[in-house]
Amino acid sequence: MATLNFIGGEKGGVGKSVAARVLAQYFIDKGQPFTGFDTDRSHTSFARFYADYASPVVVDSYEGLDKVASVFEEMPVSGVRASVIVDLAAQTAAPLSRWIRDSDLLALLASMGITVNFWHMADAGQDSVDLLDRLVNTFGPGPNYFVVKNEGRGSDFSQLEQSPALKKALALGGRVVTLGQLHEASMRKIDRRNASFWSAIHTTTGPDALGMLERQRVKTWLRNTYATFDALPLN
């Protein structure tokens, strides 16, 4: 099964790029082919960390966004379709929804047997709740909604958990996903090296190389995250 994964949340600083990166590493480690797209013009961190798999795309251009969907036409001889990960920049909901609506994209992909997953990265604030409500109201039934409580951006998610927006998403088959916090100092080292998570746990020398226990914590974090992803319709 091929999937189209929009990693969003609309706000800046809610962990969209980290989620895109760990999903990319999950696909790599599972041997699942994928193509990545990075819509953030300011830092393109997804494309930097996974340069062999992801490339920049302009989200406010239909021509740019069409490249995302065109991946599904490029089926190899084996018949195995690549999934797609789109790391959405902040404030991209409006052009994205116009493109999806004008292209009747959800119906087209459904007819091709492709599952669309909206990942809503949430911090502990009310803005994330309001933006989830907007997302569900915009697209309604059909796609999957993964509401991600990012513990790297907060610890008290009671506003989200008690919200009508979450109940609405769950009524449409949505799922709540918890992304645990990776040790902050280790994440800073990984970011400074522009390293994939694979590189981070296999590199033992050089500037900003992780120490033995730091590498072990990253491995544990990946293992726990993968266990969460295994329960989602991703492959």
Going from the N-terminus, what domains does the chain have, and what CATH number goes with each?
3-181 (3.40.50.300)
DSSP structure string for 121-187? EE-SSHHHHHHHHHHHHHH-SSSEEEEEEEGGG-S--HHHHT-HHHHHHHHTT-EEEEEPPPPHHHH
Tens-digit pLDDT profile for the chain (235 aa)?
A: 799 999 999 999 999 999 999 999 999 999 999 999 999 877 778 989 999 999 999 888 899 999 999 999 876 545 667 899 999 999 999 999 999 999 999 999 999 999 999 999 999 999 999 999 999 999 999 999 999 999 999 999 999 999 999 999 999 999 999 999 999 999 999 999 888 999 999 999 998 999 999 999 999 999 999 999 999 999 7
Q: How far apart, in whole angstroms, are the C-alpha atoms of residue 135 and residue 96?
A: 11
Q: How far apart, in whole angstroms, are the C-alpha atoms of residue 7 and residue 29?
A: 19
Best CA proximity match to 56, nearest among 192, 119, 65, 6: 65
Q: How far is CA 159 from CA 7, 145, 163, 175, 204, in A?
A: 21, 18, 6, 16, 42
